[in-house]
Amino acid sequence: MYVDPMLYAAEELANAIIIKAAHDYREAMKNLWLCPKSACDRHTIIECESFFRSPYFNMLTAVDGVWLMNKLKEEFETKTKKELEKCISPKIKNCRDLSAI
């Protein structure tokens, strides 16, 4: 079976863009949970959510961007957040409590 190298390269690039956006979204959610006043991470989340809902995202893949975004949020709530709560030091926990004020 012949695979057009240009088509393969385009698919690889599209996949890399989506993987990077998912990585950035995960990191921003984690960082925002650790430091709720982080404007930079809040901005990254807004940018990623806009990308996941965009026509450009739909051009890159057949995956539903809203579905992916919800899966990443669910992963954060059920896995990442619990791991963070287990391992953060009391000092950071206290900082989180103070930043909520």
- d(Cα 73, Cα 69) in Å, to the nearest integer? 6
3-state SS string over 46-63?
A: HHHHHHHCCHHHHHHCCC
- d(Cα 14, Cα 56) in Å, to the nearest integer? 10
Per-residue pLDDT of 53-72, as tens digits, reads 999 999 999 999 999 999 99
Residue ranges of domains in the chain? 5-99
Tell me how far CA of residue 38 lies from CA of 33, 42, 87, in angstroms: 9, 6, 21
Per-residue pLDDT of 22-44, as tens digits, reads 999 999 999 999 889 999 999 99
- d(Cα 61, Cα 51) in Å, to the nearest integer? 12
